[in-house]
Amino acid sequence: MGNGRFSMRRDKDAAVIPMTPPPSMGNEQALEERLCRTLDDNGIRWDRQLRTEAGIADVVTDEAVYEVKLVLDRSSLFKAYGQVTVYAEVLGRKRRVIVGYPVRGLDAVVEAIERQGVEINVVP
């Protein structure tokens, strides 16, 4: 995790760590690129900014849809949940993943989303 790469390992406690994105991460595009490099490193094929009938999905693999938000605040979690759920349905993918930097104090939102079967992967 200390190598500056996105971790595919899910750490539930990390979802509530107070963190702001470092300036070096830039924007959602940079975070998407980092996610795609990690998928490459794990031998996983992906499509980025895939146009669907419902909109544009950030990153899609054979098994999952990833919605990337730079900061996982309340508003972006609600938006990402809707996007990843609709894109996964349209594309016939079972696994739904939200990726981004966490903020503190959203335990109830995170837990509710996870109970719906959506993974929340935070950036280390």
Domain contains 63: yes
Domain contains 1: no
- Give the CA count within 13 Å in the CB-facing half-sphere of 97: 19
CB 67 within 8 A of CB 98: yes
Rg (CA), the chain: 13
The pLDDT-based confidence of 10 (bands split at 50, 70, 90) is very low
Domain contains 6: no
Phi and psi angles of residue 40, each rounded to the nearest 5 degrees, phi first: -55, -50
Percent of the chain with pLDDT over 90: 66
**How far, in whole angstroms, is CA 117 from its chain's centroid?**
13
| 31-75 residue pLDDT tens | 999 999 999 999 999 999 999 999 999 999 999 999 999 999 999
Q: How many separate domains does the chain show?
A: 1
Domain of 73: which CATH number? 3.40.1350.10
Domain contains 7: no
Domain contains 65: yes
**How far, in whole angstroms, is CA 14 from its chain's centroid?**
14
Q: Stretch 109-122: mean pLDDT, rounded?
A: 94
Residue 98 lies in domain = 12-122
Domain contains 5: no
Total-model pTM:
0.80
Q: Which two tokens stand for residue 34?
A: 């980092």
Task: Give the integer Cα–Cα distance in Å for 12 and 15.
Answer: 6
pLDDT of residue 4 exceeding 80, the answer is: no
